[in-house]
């Protein structure tokens, strides 16, 4: 079967002009002023809408303590 009315390249590209991927707009964190994606937890401080959701400080302390413990045993 052959196509009866073939679309030109220009018509095809005009139709596909809305298929481009857009970047997510960035917002500024209220607490640490770091850039973050809208409606997501801040990756630097772990807050969302001013409330602490992830306790980044305790995780960082645990990580430091773990690496110090490994360094002393060697």
Residue 32 counted as domain residue: yes
Mean pLDDT of the chain: 86
Q: Mean pLDDT throughout 50-65?
A: 83
The model's pLDDT over 8-24, given as tens digits with 9 standing for 90+, comes to 999 999 999 888 988 88
Residue 2 counted as domain residue: no
Contacts of 50 (CB under 8 A, 6+ apart): 30, 31
Total structural domains in the chain? 1
What confidence score (pLDDT) does residue 39 get?
92
Residue 3 counted as domain residue: no
Contacts of 47 (CB under 8 A, 6+ apart): 29, 30, 31, 32, 41, 53
Residue 34 counted as domain residue: yes
Residue 1 counted as domain residue: no
Residue 73, pLDDT > 70, answer no
By residue range, what is the domain housing residue 25? 9-73
């Amino acid at each position: 079967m052959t196509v009866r009315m073939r679309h030109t390249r220009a018509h095809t590209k005009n139709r596909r002009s809305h298929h481009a991927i857009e970047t997510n707009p960035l917002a500024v964190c209220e607490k640490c002023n770091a850039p973050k994606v809208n409606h997501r937890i801040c990756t630097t401080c772990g807050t969302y809408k001013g409330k602490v959701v992830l306790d980044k400080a305790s995780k960082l302390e645990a990580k430091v303590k773990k690496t110090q413990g490994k360094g002393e045993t060697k």
